[in-house]
Every structure is written in structure tokens, then in C-alpha cells.
Structure 1
Amino acid sequence: MLLKKLQLKTIDYKLVLTMCFLFFFNSIISAQEIIKDTVIQKPVQLTGQKQKIDGIIANVGDYIVLDSDIDKAYLEISAQGGSVKDITRCQMLGKLLEDKLYAHQAIQDSIVVSDAEIRGMMDDRLNYMIQQVGDINKVVAYYKKNSVEEFKTYFSDILKEQKLASEMTKKIVDAVEITPEEVRNFFKKIPKEELPTFGAEMEVAQIVVEPKVSAEDEQKVKDRLNAIRKDVLEGSSFATKAVLYSQDPGSSPNGGFYKMTRKTPFVKEFKDVAFSLGEGEVSEPFKTIFGYHIIIVEKIKGQEVELRHILISPTVSETALKDAKERIANIRTKIENKEITFAEAARTESDEKETRANGGTLINPNTQDTRFELTKMDPTLYSQVSNLKDNEISQPVLNTDDKGKKTYKLITITNRIDAHTADYAKDYTKIKELALKEKQITTISKWFDTKIKDTYIKIIGEYRDCNFVYNWLKK
């Protein structure tokens, strides 16, 4: 994970992407506090050695690191199943200092983390912890707090710091762009013997038929949402209603909370309604491809909106499912009889807007290209295509997505790519991703070099002998 390794003339390019993800997105839940510089006292001399006051070992801006933070970071990694045997205390302190500097600079850059976001994160983390140990009092005891409320106050500060660090990292990384010329130069400087190898891949196309929902069933959903809306307008908690009734698994545990801008990849209908509302306003029920929604806008900050929503999808009847299966079976028969090609059928018959224009070709959500590496393919998709031969069309497949929506599919493999050494022309998208990640690492490294110079940083005691990746000691 050490960035200096990536600044050497010889780079193991096969590891670049993995290292980037570890560096950018692995977070350590550590017990940390925020104090003002004036609280930190000078070390006192006892028997010829320096002693740390209250266990303070480092200060970054207004943030401090305690010696016990390192111990707790080790515990957190172990609790999550990670190995700590090769992580030194100096390396762990270096990671904590990085997180502190991210959070400190986020405040300087006026990055705001809302209380609603922290509450949502708190609910998620507490629910997970309670599932693991069975009792919130055990969680409180683990963190050595006297009550649930004391723990929540303490943990809220930790989560806020983590969120600030995450937003600062995202701001730095999102600003990095790469040109085709940079991609070409990146590939050229890779020694031939170090070119990465890409696993076997395939390209997949599908035709989707959605069961038709009756007007009566749609009206039932709208009536239910209108009743919820009425309760909210009369004083009920929208967040509580979202937890109880919303069918969106991504937001219902957080009370339906989302933070978004016009660039956030939500469907157009959702964004149109979200950005038409004022603060505190509750929308009428409206429809998207996922079902029916209502939205309440909690806060508008410039181009950003903080909102909550409730999603309810109409129930699909058995008759509608049967009709959809018959329809897709007829489409399959036409393709088998050469009356129409698979791609033509996808363009004219598929109900999936995202793929029908491309003849049903699926886009890999992880890479944004059309190839799926077999070893990294979604298990559900893999089970649907693994036994298909070239140009074979699957039987109608009943699919249920993570929101409970049921559809029928026909699936075919349109191309197979064997495992091979990286080729610039064939693998441009993957090579571009590797080049971008390397540039992001370099940008992060330069950012640290600059911000460390401009920030008050103090490291105390034996930790001044650490060999850090970054120049925390400003030597």
C-alpha cells in the first residue's frame, strides 16, 4: 500500500489497480477525538525519558491521535477478519495521520457533512454491530463507555471524521482525468514481461419482458403513498415511514435518505421531481421504472439536495407473470426460426430501455464496457450463462432483482474472449482504468506533500523515529 513504491522507475503494473482500491477506499474505524492545539501540553521529562501527556502521540490541525487509537485500529481490523501481523505501529499511525489530514482539509475546503447523513451511518453501523454481538450494551462495553447515549455521541464524532475524510478523498480523485495520449504512454512504459494478464471474458445480450401491472394494482399503490403523505403532512416522521414501508433496500434502513446533484446517476423522473421541490415540501406520488415514489426535500445546499424517499412497487399478479412468459417464449421461437435476429428482437421487443438500443448487449457496471470476466462475474448472471454454447439462446428465465421486481429474460453469449496478455487495441478500456488509477495515486501523493507543508503537524516521542511514507516530520 506504500505509495513510494509506485514512484520507482520499475512498477508492478499488475498490482496497480488492487493497490489503488486498497489505498483509496479501505477505512479503519478508530477511536479518535478532536481538541484544540492549546490542549496539547509539552512532554515532561521523567528519568531522562519523554512521557506522553494523556497518551497523545500526534496532532494534525485540530485533530489528535492517541496511542490507544493504534491499539483500537488493530482490534477493528481483526474484528473484521483482517490480518494485522504485517502492519507495524508506525504504518498504522501513518494511516491514521492520513485520515486526520483528509478530515482537516475537508473542513478547510468547506466540505459539509450533514447530521442526517451521520444519523444514517450510525443506524447502519449499530444495526451491523448488534447483529454481530446481539446486544447494544455489549457494543457500549466494548468501547468502554458508560451508556448508550455516551457511546452514540462518541461514535458520531468518529463517523463524521470518516465521512469528511471520504468526501475529501473523493474530491481529489474525481478531479483527476486522463487523456488518450497518457494512456498510450502508460502502456508503452510497461516492460513486455510485466504486461498484465486478463482472464477469460464474454459479452452477453439479453431480452427482457416485464409483466404488465393492472391499473387497479397501480392505483392501490398510489392510494397507499397518498395516505403516507397525508400522515407526514400531519406531523408523522417521513424517515420512520421509509424504514417501515419503503421497498428500496439501498435507502430504507437510513430512513430513505439520499444526497444528490443533477449529475448523480438517478433516473430522470426522480431527479425532475427532486429538483422541483422546496425545502420541507412533500411530492405527490410519481412513477419511475422502479415503481411509485414520494419525496421530501430536507435541505438544499447550492446544487445539492438532501432528501428522503419512499418506494412502493405494485404487486405483479400470477396472470401477468404467465402472460409475460408466453410473450417471451414467442419471441424465442421467432429467433430460433430465423424470423428475426436476437439483436433485432431486443431492439423491437425488449422492455429494458438500457439495453435494447444496443441489441440487448449488457454493460459491465464495474468497468463500463461490454466484457465480463468470468471470475468476477455476478454469481446470478454467471449461473444463467455458464452452460450456454455459442449462439445458444436460453429458455425463459424468471429474474427477481434486489427490489423484488420480477421479469422474464432471454440470454445469449455474443462473444468469448480467452485469457490473454494485455493488448492495447483490444483492452483499451482496462488499460485506461489502470493508467487513471496510477495518475490518481500520483495526485494523492502530491496532495499530501503540499498539505503536510501547510498544516500544523506534531508527532511525539518514539514515533518520531518512524520511517513514514509521507514527510509527517517535515524533515
Structure 2
Amino acid sequence: MLLKKLQLKAIDYKFVLTVCFFLFFAPIVAAQEIIPDVVAEKPAEKPSGGKLKIDGIIATVGDYIVLDSDIDKGFLEITAQGGSIKDITRCQMLGKLLEDKLYAHQAIQDSIIVSDAEVRGMMEERLNYMTQQVGGDINKVVEYYKKSSVEEFKTYFADILKEQKLASEMRDKIVKDVEITPEEVRNFFKKIPKDELPTFGAEMEVAQIVVEPKVSKEDKQKVIDRLNAIRQDVLEGSSFATKAVLYSQDPGSAPNGGYYKMTRKTPFVKEFKDVAFSLQAGEISAPFETNFGFHIIMVDKIKGQEVELRHILISPTVSDAALKEAKERITNIRNKIVGNEISFADAARNESDEKETRANGGTLVNPTTQDTRFELTKMDPVLYSQVSNLKGNEVSQPLLNTDDKGKKTYKLITVTNRIDEHTADYAKDYTKIKELALKEKQINAIAKWFDAKIKDTYIKIIGEYKECAFANNWLKK
């Protein structure tokens, strides 16, 4: 039956996703704590025979090798992230490592480029996170990875990051052109037996009105003057990257010196892209404004349609008076809604300062699914705490919100619709069903890719692991 086939696939796929998550983000691990070695027992499917050579090569895929210790490191990373390794065998872990090696190997064959600058940027970002998690001491991270020095660790880590990036780019390339038609979605749903239809958890639709405190011209000018001073220092020989680490308020790029790589299709705001693509290599922009604050940009390199740059973001400080004025304004809006002078949706269209939701009457879009429903068990904890106690059509009191960039706003929230836990319905749950159908089609595309590439690639598995029952035909039987 179709669903049973799907379920069998889902078991392997769930494992792949779980391990992929932990391994792909392994550099972020470093752990909430430094843990002792946790090595899974040899697999239940381990064949008879002696022990494997410690840290010996157990597999080769193209130009890549897999060591027995790589399997142990995979289990360590999962354990460090709080995951369970109870149901993951060494054979399954090896299968996942083989997949990653084949992705990376084929990425090189397909001329996918991962630049040293990209790796350095990833390195700085991950190291900054990791050292913060262990009290700011990079030596603890080095100790965790059992390296003798920071430099040895960085060399080792750079190779890992480059391989992971190659694998990620290859996976993306395989599935990027996979699309699903409405007819395929309908056929996918029809083939699922009624008694095996998935159940979707309770959901809600949420709307909000946002009021931003007004920043005075004087406060804006202070930021412009500060950025001009930084720009002048760089022109006189200071390091732009160092200035970005010290002063930029962009948490996504500040730790790695303000570095970004982008093309015209990269989803940055228009004002930012317009300035970035107007500069020559080595040129530094004048301060300019976006909805995030004020920026200056320095272009490092231009490669065809791709630009490597660094930027510094500084947002003006909002005064107490401006905050007070914003709270009074949003309180007046709430009074009008509660007094039935205006609907929440119309108030959002007329009064909200949030461009992304204003036209839709304040309705929020779930960033994970891109539809308007939020499943309660997967909802952002902050948002859930704000809406969980609201009754039907009740409007929250003004809420002071501070985003990850330190920007303060006031907002009102209301729940516009509640959907109870229910069995999948084609009409009501089309978006989710489409996502499931697309995932199945992507899995099939990846499986077909593996079948073809395994045949054309040098692959060798050594010793006891030749007896593993792999999901893919790594042994070419």
C-alpha cells in the first residue's frame, strides 16, 4: 500500500533529517556543556568477527574517506545537542556519512565553488556562538574536539565546514527544480487510505497592529555622524571588519566582521542592494537608511554578478518620550477597536506601521509554512505566551516588543481563527498536503540521484561494515 511505503520511507527519512540536523549544525554545538565521550555500542547488526581497527579508514567515497571515529563523533554531536542515540545504529550513522561524502564529492565534480571567504565567515560565526556557550573560552571548544591547539582546531574545523557547505549546495541543486502540480497533490492525497490520513494539531490564525516610536532628526543625525567617523577611520587605515565586530548592531554579520555575499536575487531590502551594487571593489558608501537603521557598506570583491561585502548597521536610540507617545497612540487604537468604532483589520490597514502585515489586515504569516496558520505545539514561545489566553476576538493590551536587533515597538494582538486538532482535509489543509507531496517528490528525486551517482563513483567499504544493511546501494550488490 502507498502509505505503508511512505511510512517505510519516512522511517529512513526521519533518521536522515534528524542526523542531518545534528551533523549540519554540529559546528554550532559546542554544547551547552562539555560532555564526556559517549560512543554508541557496536551495532546490533554488527557481523561476527573481531573489533575494528581504532580510527581506521572504514570507507572511501570518491576523494573522501570515512574513519571509524567519524561515527563516534556523529553520536557525540547528537548527544551534545540533547538528542537520543538510542535508536540510531552505527550502520545508519555510516550511511548518513556516506551520503554527505557523496554530496560533497559530486559538488566538486559539478564545479560548485565554496570560497575561502565563505568558510572564514562561517567559521567566525560558529566560533563566536560556541565560545559564548562555554563562557567565552575557546580552549574549552578545542578540548571538546580533542585538538592540541586553536590553530589545529581551526584547520580541522574549516575542512568540516567546507565539506558541509558543499554537501548542502549539492542537495539544494538536486531539489531546486522539483515542483509539484495541483494534480499531483490531489493524486498524492487520494492514494492515502482514509484510516491512515495524518492528524494535524490545533492551530490558530493571528493578527497584529504595530506602532513604531518616532525617532527624532537629532537622534538620526547622531548615528549618521558616528558612521561617518567610522568610515573616515577606515579610509585612514583602520580595519572595517574590526569596526563591524565592535560597533555593528547586525547580529547576523557582526561576529564575522560584517561579511555578506550576495547577488541581485539575494533577499535583502532594495535600498541595501541598490547601494551594494553601485560600489566598486574597495569603495565605502556614505551612510544610508533602511527600515533596520543606518548602514555603511564596503565592497571586498566583485565576481561577475556576485558581490562580497562588509557592512555596519547602527540604529538610532529611541527616547523615553518617543516610547511614551507610541504607547499612547496604540492605546487609542485599541480603545477604538474595543469600542466598535473600527474593526481590528481596518485599524491595521490604516494605523499599523508594519508594512509586511498592514495590507492583510494585520494577519501574520507563519515563516515555516508560509501560510497563515500556526500550530500551537510549534508556535514561537514568545508569540504563544502573548496569544494563548486571549478569547475569541479579544484584543491584547499594548505589548512592548524588542526584536533581536534591539528595535522597540508596541503592538496589539488578536486571534482571528482557531482550528481544533483534526484529520487531514484536502480543502482545509491543502498547503500542508502540498508540502508533504512535494517532500515525497524531493525524496524520490534524491533517491534517483543516489542510484545514478553511486554507480558512477568509486566507493569502498572495509571490514565489518560491509555487512551493514544500508538504505542505499553503497555495496553495489
TM over 0.5, shorter chain: yes
Does the CA-based 8 Å contact 1:210-1:406 persist in structure 2?
yes
Change (3 A) 1:108 1:342: same
Structure 2 distance, partners of 1:87, 1:19, is: 8
Name which of structure 1's ranges 250-259 and 91-100 shifts more when overlaid on structure 2.
250-259
Secondary structure of the 1:327 match is helix
Name which of structure 1's ranges 457-466 and 442-451 shifts more when overlaid on structure 2.
457-466
Q: CA deviation at 1:87?
A: 2.3
One of 237, 240, 243 as aligned partner of 2:239:
237
Q: CA deviation at 1:24?
A: 5.5
Structure 1 distance, partners of 2:278, 2:154, is: 35
The number of equivalent residue pairs is: 454
Q: Please give the residue correspondences for 1:383-462 in structure 2 after superposition, counting only pairs within 5 Å.
A: 383-462=385-464
Structure 1 distance, partners of 2:445, 2:358, is: 39
Which string of whole-angstrom CA distances, capped at 9 and with x for unpartnered residues, describes residues 267-308 of structure 1?
A: 221222222222222221111111111122223333332222
Q: Please give the residue correspondences for 1:47-86 in structure 2 after superposition, counting only pairs within 5 Å.
A: 55-86=56-87
Which string of whole-angstrom CA distances, capped at 9 and with x for unpartnered residues, describes residues 27-79 of structure 1?
A: 2659xxxxxxxxxxxxxxxxx99997982221111111122222332233323
Does the CA-based 8 Å contact 1:16-1:438 persist in structure 2?
no
Secondary structure of the 1:11 match is helix
Does the CA-based 8 Å contact 1:204-1:361 persist in structure 2?
yes
Secondary structure of the 2:7 match is coil
Name which of structure 1's ranges 313-322 and 169-178 shifts more when overlaid on structure 2.
169-178
Structure 2 distance, partners of 1:16, 1:335, is: 51
Give 2:107's aligned residue. Answer: 106
Give 2:380's aligned residue. Answer: 378
Structure 1 distance, partners of 2:427, 2:214, is: 44
Does the CA-based 8 Å contact 1:16-1:437 persist in structure 2?
no
Query: TM-score, normalised to structure 1's length?
Result: 0.88
% identity of equivalent residues: 81
Give 1:147's aligned residue. Answer: 149
Q: Which amino acid aligns with 1:85?
A: K
Does the CA-based 8 Å contact 1:203-1:372 persist in structure 2?
yes
Secondary structure of the 1:27 match is helix
Structure 2 distance, partners of 1:88, 1:315, is: 53
Which string of whole-angstrom CA distances, capped at 9 and with x for unpartnered residues, describes residues 155-188 of structure 1?
A: 2112111111122112223222111111111111
Change (3 A) 1:89 1:281: same
Change (3 A) 1:88 1:15: closer
Does the CA-based 8 Å contact 1:197-1:421 persist in structure 2?
yes
Does the CA-based 8 Å contact 2:262-2:307 persist in structure 1?
yes
Structure 2 spans left out of the alignment, 5+ residues: 28-48
Give 1:210's aligned residue. Answer: 212
Q: CA deviation at 1:10?
A: 5.2
Give 1:27's aligned residue. Answer: 23
Give 2:186's aligned residue. Answer: 184
Structure 1 distance, partners of 2:2, 2:300, is: 44
Does the CA-based 8 Å contact 1:13-1:190 persist in structure 2?
no
Give 1:44's aligned residue. Answer: none
Which string of whole-angstrom CA distances, capped at 9 and with x for unpartnered residues, describes residues 417-438 of structure 1?
A: 1111111101111111111111
Structure 2 distance, partners of 1:275, 1:6, is: 50
Q: Which amino acid aligns with 1:400?
A: T
Which string of whole-angstrom CA distances, capped at 9 and with x for unpartnered residues, describes residues 106-127 of structure 1?
A: 1112221122221232223333
Give 2:466's aligned residue. Answer: 464
RMSD of aligned Cα (Å) = 2.7
Query: TM-score, normalised to structure 2's length?
Result: 0.88
Does the CA-based 8 Å contact 2:54-2:69 persist in structure 1?
no
Which string of whole-angstrom CA distances, capped at 9 and with x for unpartnered residues, describes residues 422-469 of structure 1?
A: 111011111111111111111111111111112121222222222211
Q: CA deviation at 1:103?
A: 0.8
